[in-house]
């Protein structure tokens, strides 16, 4: 599947027919509908979401497709074609009464958590059969988990007429991940999956909850955005994410502000002088400068100067690597090799410690940059990365 010349094509979601057919085979009934929610890449604005800051994601064409049908007996059954569906043992079954954090283990906690949040909010869910079929690479920093949650949320919202908006469903999905799965993520991934639109980047102010669709027409400008999946599996549950979050919250408290969002670039030097702890200083510097970079990136996008925005990506990567300490050798190499081969900008994307990098390149240089990255990985003895083109795609929607 990864023939070298093939990999720059965007991944395309298959239609709804396959997942409908599998649903019928597995549950011996017809799905009431099929929903699709995408993975994402964050163009810039890393680890700013839980600091009330700014982010700029695009949705990928890769989606989690969710075929679902209502039940009336209080049972939820969850299955995924990515976890070798075929026997009853592969289906996670839980009743409305049992649904509580800790009651569902493994991957099914993501969709079960969404049902739990909706029930906790008073929506009258009476059970459902749910089959997930996703082509979002997992653990690659491309938000396969948010795709799973958002696709499930949208399906349950429709099946039970819960009437939630996309913004509300993003919150539901985030709470499922925070409180049911136990990952202290911010709102970036779920907002991107729910609210991105094709051909745009989503400029999102996480404090205000304000979303602006900024035209992001790479092709029209003769550009491409490459995703370089290092295939190093990140594991954000290992405490590194939580410790970054804690350092930011402690710094904000020490500085007497609700969140690091409240420190502007002009106040940064003064703030750094007041912080006692070097780690907190570096985390603060990352968040404050990263927020400023998002705003500047958006300005350049609006001005039609995407080509000039590459330096912001490079600065973002350096800040993630040096001040926030969330990069790794493979991500650094992906960025360095891309830039050396002529990329206009490159940076790690997502939570870090593995996962993916992105590179902004002239369209006609894309193959050369991808080849250079592959060669550098081979040279360094790393497993071959998966490289593809990110096409800004649609957010979560019902497809059948």
Binding site: residue ranges? 46-49, 80, 139-145, 177, 241
Beta-bridge partner residues of 59: 40, 393
Instruction: Write the CA distances from 313 to 191, 254, 296, integer angstroms.
Output: 21, 29, 11
Give whichever of 193 and 284 is closer to ligand ADP, judged by the CB atom: 193
Give the residue among 37, 118, 34 at the shortest CA–CA distance from 76.
118
Give contact residues for ligand ADP (rule: CB under 6 A): 64, 80, 82-83, 107, 110, 132, 134, 138-145, 148, 350
Q: Please, what is the minimum distance in Å from the beta carbon of residue 237 to ligand ADP?
A: 7
Whether residue 55 contacts residue 41, with contact meaning beta carbons closer than 8 Å, is answered with: no
Q: Please, what is the minimum distance in Å from the beta carbon of residue 34 to ligand ADP?
A: 15
**Binding-site annotation, residues for Mg(2+):** 145, 177
**Binding-site annotation, residues for ATP:** 80, 139-145
Give whichever of 182 and 215 is closer to ligand ADP, judged by the CB atom: 182
* Residue 83 binding target from Mg ion, ligand ADP, none, CB below 5 to 8 Å by type: ligand ADP
Give whichever of 110 and 377 is closer to ligand ADP, judged by the CB atom: 110
Give the residue among 59, 316, 53 at the shortest CA–CA distance from 205.
53
* Residue 138 binding target from Mg ion, ligand ADP, none, CB below 5 to 8 Å by type: ligand ADP
- Per annotation, catalytic residue among 133, 135, 189, 229: 189
Give whichever of 233 and 258 is closer to ligand ADP, judged by the CB atom: 233
Give the range of 35-43, 141-149, 262-270, 385-393 binding Mg ion by CB under 5 A.
141-149
Distance CA 333, CA 84 (A): 34
Q: Please, what is the minimum distance in Å from the beta carbon of residue 185 to Mg ion?
A: 7
Q: Does 338 bind Mg ion (CB under 5 A)?
A: no
How far is C-alpha 348 from the geometric centre of its chain's CA atoms?
13
Q: Please, what is the minimum distance in Å from the beta carbon of residue 56 to ligand ADP?
A: 17
Q: Does 191 bind Mg ion (CB under 5 A)?
A: no
Give whichever of 40 and 282 is closer to Mg ion, judged by the CB atom: 40
CB atoms near residue 265 (< 10 Å) = 13
Give the range of 145-153, 154-162, 278-286, 309-317 binding Mg ion by CB under 5 A.
145-153
Q: Does 174 bind Mg ion (CB under 5 A)?
A: no
Q: Please, what is the minimum distance in Å from the beta carbon of residue 240 to ligand ADP?
A: 13
Whether residue 191 contacts residue 211, with contact meaning beta carbons closer than 8 Å, is answered with: yes
Distance CA 397, CA 194 (A): 8
Query: Cβ contacts of residue 46 below 8 Å, gap of 6+?
Result: 290, 316, 320, 324, 326, 347, 348, 349, 350, 352
Q: What is the DSSP string of 277-327?
A: -HHHHHHHHHHHHHHHHHHHHHHHHHTT-GGGGHHHHHHHHHIIIIIS---
Instruction: Write the CA distances from 349 to 53, 76, 274, 313, integer angstroms.
Output: 16, 34, 30, 10
* Residue 139 binding target from Mg ion, ligand ADP, none, CB below 5 to 8 Å by type: ligand ADP
**Binding-site annotation, residues for substrate:** 46-49, 241
* Residue 80 binding target from ligand ADP, Mg ion, none, CB below 5 to 8 Å by type: ligand ADP
Binding Mg ion by CB under 5 A: which of 7, 63, 80, 145?
145
User: Coil, strand or helix: which one is 116?
Assistant: helix
Give the range of 25-33, 58-66, 143-151, 152-160 binding Mg ion by CB under 5 A.
143-151
How far is C-alpha 399 from the geometric centre of its chain's CA atoms?
21
Query: Cβ contacts of residue 13 below 8 Å, gap of 6+?
Result: 36, 61, 62, 63, 65, 135
75-80 vs 127-134, strand pairing mode? parallel
Q: Please, what is the minimum distance in Å from the beta carbon of residue 142 to ligand ADP?
A: 6
Give whichever of 220 and 235 is closer to Mg ion, judged by the CB atom: 235
189 catalytic, yes or no?
yes
Q: Please, what is the minimum distance in Å from the beta carbon of residue 386 to Mg ion?
A: 17
Give whichever of 11 and 355 is closer to Mg ion, judged by the CB atom: 355
Site for Mg ion in 341-380 (CB under 5 A): none
Whether residue 2 contacts residue 38, with contact meaning beta carbons closer than 8 Å, is answered with: no
* Active site residues per annotation: 189
Q: Which residues bind Mg ion (CB under 5 A)?
A: 145
């Amino acid at each position: 599947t990864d023939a070298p010349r093939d990999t720059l094509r965007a991944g395309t979601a298959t239609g709804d027919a396959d997942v409908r057919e599998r649903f019928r085979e597995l549950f011996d009934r017809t799905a009431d509908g099929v929903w699709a929610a995408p993975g994402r890449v964050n163009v810039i604005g890393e680890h700013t979401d839980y600091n009330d800051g700014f982010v700029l994601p695009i949705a990928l064409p890769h989606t989690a497709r969710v075929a679902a049908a209502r039940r009336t007996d209080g049972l939820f059954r969850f299955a995924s074609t990515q976890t070798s569906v075929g026997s009853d043992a592969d289906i996670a079954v839980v009743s409305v009464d049992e649904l509580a954090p800790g009651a569902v283990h493994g991957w099914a906690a993501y969709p079960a958590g969404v049902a739990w949040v909706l029930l906790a909010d008073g929506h009258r869910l009476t059970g459902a059969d749910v089959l997930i079929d996703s082509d979002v690479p997992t653990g690659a920093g491309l938000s396969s988990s948010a795709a799973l949650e958002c696709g499930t949320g949208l399906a349950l919202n429709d099946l039970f007429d819960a009437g939630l908006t996309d913004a509300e469903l993003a919150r539901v999905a985030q709470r499922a991940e925070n409180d049911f799965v136990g990952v202290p993520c911010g709102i970036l991934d779920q907002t991107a999956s729910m609210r991105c639109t094709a051909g745009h980047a989503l400029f999102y102010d996480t404090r205000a909850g304000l979303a602006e669709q900024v035209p992001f027409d790479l092709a029209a400008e003769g550009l491409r955005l490459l995703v370089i999946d290092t295939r190093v599996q990140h594991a954000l549950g290992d405490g590194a994410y939580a410790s970054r979050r804690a350092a930011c919250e402690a710094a904000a408290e020490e500085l007497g502000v609700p969140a690091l969002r409240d420190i502007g670039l002009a106040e940064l030097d003064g703030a750094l002088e007041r912080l006692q702890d070097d780690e907190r200083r570096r985390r603060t510097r990352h968040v404050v400068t990263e927020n400023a970079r998002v705003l500047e990136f958006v300005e350049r996008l609006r001005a039609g100067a995407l080509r000039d925005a590459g330096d912001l990506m490079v600065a973002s990567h350096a800040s993630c690597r040096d001040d926030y300490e969330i990069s790794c050798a493979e991500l650094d190499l992906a960025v360095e090799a891309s830039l050396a081969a002529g990329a206009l900008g490159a940076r790690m994307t997502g939570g870090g410690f593995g996962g993916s990098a992105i590179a902004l390149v002239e369209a006609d240089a894309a193959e050369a940059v991808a080849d250079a990255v592959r060669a550098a990985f081979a040279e360094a003895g790393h497993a071959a990365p998966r490289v593809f083109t990110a096409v800004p795609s649609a957010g979560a929607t019902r497809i059948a």
